[in-house]
Structure 1
Amino acid sequence: MTSTAPAQEWPADVRTLAIDVGGSGFKAAILDPAGAMLTERVRVETPYPCPPERLMSSVVDLTQDLGHRDRVSVGFPGLVRNGKVRNIPSLSRTAYDGDTDPALEDAWRGFDLAGALTEAFGVPTKVANDADVQGCAVVSGEGFEFVMTLGTGVGTALFLDGRLLPHIEGGHAPFRKGDTFEEQLGNVARKQIGNERWARRVVEAITAYDRFLFFDTIHVGGGNAKHLDPADLPHKARIVANTAGIIGGVRLWDLDA
């Protein structure tokens, strides 16, 4: 997570443009200080291939009619440090379910996304991993909380007593049969094996994560969480609304950058 501007005082009615960048769609809305949507949520399909310049033009076009904003929060499906992209599996593909393209990897690696978006929008902008942003909206602030998002891939975030911890790509950790969590639980795998088998894998993954994280609570979100039955999940797990990916954009500004 990063900010391109120093800490500042915001008006009591501060308006935050929150953008959720996903492998299948870009979503956005203007939020009030409490995280409630002041506008309808707008959405556009993720364009492929999607180098940095195409993402920039897409999100600017998507949000141009939403009205005044004082600041911008962006949830991004990859590893971002100091505003620069370090790893972005989903947008390094030429197609949604395609193979990684070396040229796209090179285009994204080191790209100053926070700086580019600040210039494009003309207001202070923060960029964080999308699971981190979703976690900002749903964690209780009590104990060690783990966030897992299920969508194109698998996102993870860690919070201790409400404080966002440094981001790690937990979806890339080894899981089963030589595959990572992302390879076994991503959207391509879900379509291949069907929702029922996939849901059983999710339960197995939650148990596997708990063996080395020892979390107090796991919050399961993302677009594919709708395929899960809460009654089938371990007692420490709860399913959260997919809108958290946008709503967390307000709380992101309350955390230390």
Structure 2
Amino acid sequence: MKVLVIDIGGTNVKVASTDMRVPIKIPSGPTMTAEQMAKDVLVATEGWTYDRISIGYPGPVAHDHPLAEPHNLAPGWIDFPYQKALGKPIRFINDAAMQALGGYKGGRMLFLGTGTGLGSAMIFDGVVIPLELAHLPYKKGRTYEEYIGLAGLESRGKKRWQKSVLDIINRLQAAMVCDSVLLGGGNAKLMTDLPPHVILGANSNAIDGGLRLWDNPLKPNKTALKLK
């Protein structure tokens, strides 16, 4: 079985497959709709061979559909007919959960993805649990995402941003009672001198997670997805 993986982000949509492991990037941003995403993906992958599709979505999902509109993209994602438009069986998963799934090694792990926004997920003794921590209040009336998402990095500068990332990691790891933290997302590479329990995610984590999604007999439309 060959799988196409679509990782939807606020800056780019990354697309890879079982045969094409290095992802191609399709620019997204605040004007990107679900319809445009589907059209762009089909054009970009013309000639590719795949039987199934995994979609990592920047928001909560259930029953292989989004539950809420994304914060950094255009509206129109909730009711879009994905399977009809893309033409293959589809499994949806929160994008952070997909990255966590790809980077999981064992134990109780918290994933934080610092990209355009802030993604979060936890794997608790082999069970994948999507989280929505980005818009919870943090400091001075602002959210976690406003401090360590892209806007926070650009407005506050690298050093202050790094300090906030470490503080938020410590707070959330303690709250979730996790053994380790996997730090991913496009801006994770800016972090230096991470403590031993914080692992820097690989660029391949999201793709690996999307491929692994079809290895499990349970669909990811429940509260949790048990790994083999």
Question: TM-score under structure 1 normalisation?
Answer: 0.79
* Deviation at residue 218 of structure 1 after TM alignment: 0.7
Partner of 2:120: 156
Letter matched to residue 115 of structure 2: G
| More helix as a share of residues | 1
Which of 69, 89, 92 is the aligned partner of 2:71?
A: 89
Partner of 2:135: 172
Kindly report which structure 2 residues correspond to 1:111-122, keeping only aligned pairs within 5 A, or say none: 111-112=79-80, 116-122=81-87
> Which structure 1 segments of 5+ residues have no match?
1-13, 32-36, 93-103
Q: Deviations over 1:82-102 (max 9, x none)?
A: 12222211114xxxxxxxxxx
Q: Deviations over 1:109-166 (max 9, x none)?
A: x325xxx332223221111111110011111122x2111111000000111122212x
Partner of 2:148: 185
Partner of 1:10: none
* Deviation at residue 47 of structure 1 after TM alignment: 4.8
Distance in structure 1 (CA, Å) of the matches to 2:144 and 2:195: 18
Kindly report which structure 2 residues correspond to 1:96-245, keeping only aligned pairs within 5 A, or say none: 104=75, 107-108=76-77, 110-112=78-80, 116-142=81-107, 144-165=108-129, 167-229=130-192, 231=193, 233-245=194-206
Cα distance, 1:40–1:186 mapped onto 2, change above 3 Å: closer
Distance in structure 2 (CA, Å) of the matches to 1:52 and 1:85: 11
Name which of structure 1's ranges 129-138 and 242-251 shifts more when overlaid on structure 2.
Answer: 242-251
Which of 17, 28, 35 is the aligned partner of 1:30?
A: 17
Distance in structure 2 (CA, Å) of the matches to 1:89 and 1:180: 13
Distance in structure 2 (CA, Å) of the matches to 1:63 and 1:27: 11
Decide whether the 8 Å contact of 2:110 with 2:121 is kept in 1.
yes
Cα RMSD (Å) of the superposition? 1.7
Decide whether the 8 Å contact of 2:10 with 2:30 is kept in 1.
no
Distance in structure 2 (CA, Å) of the matches to 1:253 and 1:243: 17
> Which structure 2 segments of 5+ residues have no match?
220-228
Count of residue correspondences: 217
Distance in structure 1 (CA, Å) of the matches to 2:106 and 2:97: 14
Question: TM-score under structure 2 normalisation?
Answer: 0.88
Letter matched to residue 16 of structure 1: V
Distance in structure 1 (CA, Å) of the matches to 2:178 and 2:42: 38
Q: 2:212 matched to 1:247?
A: no
